[in-house]
Every structure is written in structure tokens, then in C-alpha cells.
Amino acid sequence: MIEGNQEKMHAMVDALMKWETIDRDQLQDILAGEDPRPPRVYQHNEVNLSKNDIKTTNSTPPPLPAM
């Protein structure tokens, strides 16, 4: 199954790398063998961060929500 759909998987990875999300319309485009359209609510914001802009702490992350 994976080998037969490698091209579609790579298209999904490319879309995720570009937009960080895949909506239903994009997934339908990919599964139909077409190039995915941009997500409907996509807002392109250029963010250029330097090491000085990123703050790190040694605290533990918050707990996961209960299921």
C-alpha cells in the first residue's frame, strides 16, 4: 500500500512543509493526483528569527489533556 502511494505521500509531506497543514480540499487534490491548492485560511507571514529571539527555559512542559 505504501509503495503504491509513495507519490501521494510525498505530495502530502511537501504540502505540510510548505503550509504546516493539510485541509480537506488539499487532501482531495492530492488523492486525485493533482497539485494541492493553498489551504483556505492560509495566511503567509514571513518570520525571521535569530537565536536571540528564541527564549528557552528549563521548565517542564504542561501536562497533556486527560482523555
What are the grid coordinates assigned to 7, written together? 507519490
Residue of 18 and 45 predicted with greater confidence: 18
- With bands split at pLDDT 50, 70 and 90, how would you rate the model's confidence at 12? very high
Burial of 32 (0-12, 13-18, 19+ CB in 10 A): exposed
Tell me if the pTM is above 0.85: no
Place of cell 501521494: 8
Q: How far is residue 10's CA from residue 27's CA, in Å, rounded to a whole number? A: 12
- Where are the domains positioned within the chain? 6-41
Where are the strands (E) in 1-67, listed by range? none
Q: How many whole angstroms separate alpha carbon 29 and alpha carbon 40? A: 13
Reply yes or no on whether the pLDDT at 25 is more than 70. Answer: yes
pLDDT at 63: 80
